[in-house]
Copies of this chain bind each other. A is one copy, B any other.
Amino acid sequence: MSHHKRLEKSGKFTFALLIVASFLSFSQMPVSGQTLADRLGYPPGTKLIIVHADDLGETHAVNAAAIKSLEAGSVNSASMMVPCPWFPEIAEYAKSHPSADFGLHLTVTSERVYYRWSSVAPADKVPSLLDENGYFHHDWEHRQHIQPKEVEVELRAQIERALAMGVHPTHLDSHQYRLIINGKELFDVMLRVAHDYKLPIFVNKDWFADHPYLQQSLGPDDIVLDHTITIEPEVPPEKWADFYISALKNLKPGVTEFVIHPGFDDEELRAATRERSTWGAAWRQRDFDFFNSNQFREILAQENVKLITWRELTDMAARK
């Protein structure tokens, strides 16, 4: 039954795939039966979700869709890619909306073909992260001899640039889960940097079985979510809403992060993602459409699902 909590690679381009634990009642987690919600003092059975938009800063179409969703209340948290060209746009928005729940989507790959970005740290300080043309690797083949020390230099450079540009992140997560799924050394780098900046990182208990080093490295003060829901390439476009509705109807108690990818299916995003449809322009438009629909609002109310942000989680955890 471990298929429902794997973080695995799939397809032509190696991607962290996703981990939908919520449909299944069975769990082999070698962890406490208490949910994060229980530990934060919520009544037993409380269902909380973070509706989290990923990849802000990557393109304008993603920034625009995220901002519209945040302002509509259909998304309540998001994270941004500092190395990407549109980061200044979303940084400016974050600066002028200091109560919004923005994290940093720590980025060490440049996974598209026609549109690319590079490190924030000087290229000669992070050579193992860059390809022969100076961009982040398109993919990590057998980890490409990635040097953990260089990852640390790069992560710190990304956080420092964000801070310098007026962004005060509420959390950290890892673009394509690269720093989560590639072994203890890289995860420990991310965790050390997070601790230094006193920021929570997005991890959840469902990942522990396949990646036991996560649990080994995390301490009692680290926030660990209960579940993650994210849509998979196997879901056909016409089943998009069904997938999310089913996930919400079968939601388990505790704190679940919905990792979503809203974007507008326009010229820019179509061009930027045209080499494959996974996480492409139409995919992101479908995510935007579902989470901005009345259907989503209605089911939240119907299933008594509450929204929570990373900022609220951190504040509550600090008071415990």
Contact = CB atoms under 8 A, between A and B. Distances in A.
A218 B118 CA distance: 36
A135 B89 CA distance: 14
A interface SS class: loop
A116 interface: yes
Interface string A258-276: 0000001011100110000
Interface string A105-135: 0000000011111101111110000001111
Nearest to A123: B122
A29 interface: no
B60 A89 contact: no
A148 interface: no
Contacts of A92: 113-114
Instruction: Pick the most buried of A89, A122, A124, A272: most chain B CB atoms within 10 A of its CB.
Output: A122
A114 B133 contact: no
Contact of A268 (B61, B116, B121, B123): B61
Contacts of A183: none
Contacts of A296: none
A60 B122 contact: no
A110 to B, nearest CB: 9
A21 B123 CA distance: 43
A318 interface: no
| Chain copies in complex | 2
A188 B320 CA distance: 65
A104 to B, nearest CB: 15
Nearest to A266: B267
Interface in A17-60: 59-60
A64 interface: yes
Interface in A240-271: 264, 266-268, 271
Contacts of A161: 133-134
A59 B268 CA distance: 9
A114 B90 CA distance: 8
A271 B63 CA distance: 10
Contacts of A132: 164
A88 B121 CA distance: 21
A61 B267 contact: yes
A121 B87 CA distance: 20
B115 A89 contact: yes
